[in-house]
Amino acid sequence: MINNNKCLAVIPARGGSKRLKRKNIKLFNGKPLLAWSIYAAKKSSYIDEVVVSTEDIEIASIALSFGATVPYLRPIALSKDNVDSTKPVLEILNNYKEYSQIVLLQPTSPLRTPLDIDECIKLSVYNRGMPCISVTNLINDVNILAHKHKDNRLSPFKLLNTDLVKINGAVYTSSSQYFINHGTFMMEETMSFEMPKERSIDIDTILDFKIAEELFKIEKLNDTD
């Protein structure tokens, strides 16, 4: 069933990151950060093509050198800080209509593995193309959480019959048509695929970057041999 679905991975990688300058091509364990997401996507059992969406010529050149497709430079209007990452994906889908499954991979999640990607895709495809998003447990013991009020008083945090999870930014997938119809991966029908904390860092700061590099070395993730 999965192999009958042509699957497109889109990696949005703009050049204008603010908190950590040029982070998408900053060297991460010897290779540009972007390269590790390209490697993971190309090792997936189900992804047929990997497209990088960028407005930046240098990022486009690096993406091409690591085996991704860059069909065109993204319009500047879709590369601003306030533009949701789903917008470039929708734009790409307008030009890749032959793909029935879409996967969004953020370049700031270099610790995800090809298996993480494949498990998300399977959950989506086996559930009629409904969206699936990767998550991680936010905290193991909710008893240490509390609500802080304006006057600095604390009150107990109450969690009612659900696990508290965090969207880790590593994998988003859906049938292409479902994504086009709704314009988002997040809705009441969205399923979750849980990843461990050690593979769930979403790099936004230099501290995130350094922690991720050390975890990468320990776990020996995304072996490119």
Whether the CB-CB separation of 47 and 41 falls below 8 Å is answered with: yes
DSSP class of residue 69? Answer: B
**To the nearest whole percent, how much of the chain has pLDDT over 90?**
67
Segment 91-147, tens digit of pLDDT = 899 889 899 999 999 999 999 999 999 999 999 999 999 999 999 988 766 777 888
Question: Does residue 81 surpass a pLDDT of 90?
Answer: no
Question: What is the structure's pLDDT at 156?
Answer: 84
Question: What is the structure's pLDDT at 78?
Answer: 63
Tell me the pLDDT band of 65, cut-offs 50, 70 and 90.
Answer: very high
* Helix axis angle, 33-43 to 114-125, nearest 10°: 50
**Better-scored residue on pLDDT, 151 or 4:** 151
Tell me the pLDDT band of 163, cut-offs 50, 70 and 90.
Answer: confident
Question: Does residue 173 surpass a pLDDT of 80?
Answer: yes
Q: Tell me the CA distances in angstroms from 64 to 26, 38, 72, 188, one per residue in order.
A: 16, 10, 12, 37
Question: What is the structure's pLDDT at 133?
Answer: 97
The residues with which 31 forms a beta bridge, in sequence order, are: 28
Tell me the pLDDT band of 161, cut-offs 50, 70 and 90.
Answer: low
Q: What's the whole-number mean pLDDT along residues 73-78?
A: 76
Domain ranges of the chain: 2-136+163-219
User: Shortest CA distance to 66 belongs to which of 46, 99, 43, 85?
Assistant: 43
Burial category of 20 from C-beta neighbours within 10 Å (exposed 0-12, middle 13-18, buried 19 and up): middle
Which tokens belong to 14?
A: 């703009």
User: Shortest CA distance to 87 belongs to which of 74, 98, 96, 100?
Assistant: 74
Amino acid found at 8: L
Q: What's the whole-number mean pLDDT along residues 46-67?
A: 95
Tell me the pLDDT band of 75, cut-offs 50, 70 and 90.
Answer: confident
**To the nearest whole percent, how much of the chain has pLDDT over 70?**
91
Question: What is the structure's pLDDT at 222?
Answer: 47
Q: For the CA atoms of the chain, what is the radius of gyration?
A: 18
* Lowest-pLDDT range of 27-31, 40-44, 127-131, 135-139: 135-139
Element (H, E) at 49: strand 49-53
Q: Is 172 helix (H, G, I), strand (E, B) or coil?
A: strand
Give me the CATH code for the 2-136+163-219 domain, please.
3.90.550.10
Question: Does residue 190 surpass a pLDDT of 50?
Answer: yes
Residue 171 and residue 85: Cα distance in Å, rounded? 12
Question: Does residue 155 surpass a pLDDT of 50?
Answer: yes
